[in-house]
Amino acid sequence: MSIFDLNGRVAVITGGNGGIGLGMAQALAAAGCNVSIWGRNPEKNKAAVQSLAGARGKAEAQICDVTDPASVKAAMEATLKAFGRVDGCFANAGIGGGGRQPFIERTEEQWRTMFATNLDGVFHAFQAAARHMTDRAANGDPFGRLVATSSLASIFGTARNEHYAATKAAINALVRALAVELARNGVTANAILPGWIKSDMTAGIMGNDKFVANVMPRIPVRRFGEPEDFGGIAVYLMSKASSYHTADTFVIDGGYTAF
């Protein structure tokens, strides 16, 4: 069963009021999944729910800071009160590289902030969801989907964004371990890794012979995609102004998404 096959079920989307998270929410709601969006900004949460109006699935939002365990617990309790259950948790909260500062000049605060936002957010959301899912499994209802968005940086690194790459690599390791630990409860764990496409944003580097010769072989895709290649993927978040698409680079097999 695909991790996106949640028709009639309930999914939590962290960081779901923008970017990849909102695209996931829209795709799942359109397919008939009920969606609970967890985000810190009440106005963005409201706008995200409004963007799902008319979808087959119902949508609601909870104010939640995924770096705070108490906030995550409260959001989970509110979601369970609203929907009765949670079948999927799509953890997308996080921040990017945060500038081009060399590693040796990074401050302790910058390091901790990156880890707290990227890694702690996934840990707290997944733990809350997994507790609920394993409790259900113990009562004869084994089903659950845990999905984290990853980054190409977690595989081939990135100069001057080392702390970002480290957090994403840690998330991949967490997902791999959870796929083994939770399989007995009918819960799958996957990482979705973005892949490069040809776009306005990447036009400059596509013409760089050194980039194509030296960097492209390190990116685990068979070729750069064309925008029209991705019209039928499960999560459609790509435009000609964007350089990423999700859920297509790797086959989603119901378990860990192998690199």
Q: Where are the beta strands (DSSP E) in the chain?
A: 10-14, 34-39, 59-63, 88-91, 144-149, 187-192, 195-196, 244-245
The per-residue DSSP string of 158-200 comes to -TT-HHHHHHHHHHHHHHHHHHHHSGGGTEEEEEE--EEB--T
Token reading at 28: 């799942």
How far apart, in Å, are the Cα atoms of 101 and each of 5, 98, 154, 163, 164? 41, 8, 18, 11, 12
The DSSP 8-state label assigned to residue 242 in this structure reads -
Of 164, 236, 244, 256, the catalytic one is 164
CA distance 134 to 150: 24
For residue 83, give Cα distances in angstroms to 8, 33, 93, 119. Answer: 11, 11, 22, 27
Known catalytic membership, residue 164: yes
Helix (H) or strand (E) holding 46: helix 42-51
User: 24, 38 in Cβ contact below 8 A?
Assistant: no
- Cβ contacts of residue 251 below 8 Å, gap of 6+? 257, 258
Determine phi and psi for 177, rounding to 5 degrees: -65, -40
What is the spatial distance between Cα 148 and Cα 172, in angstroms, rounded to a whole number? Answer: 8
Q: Which positions are catalytic?
A: 164
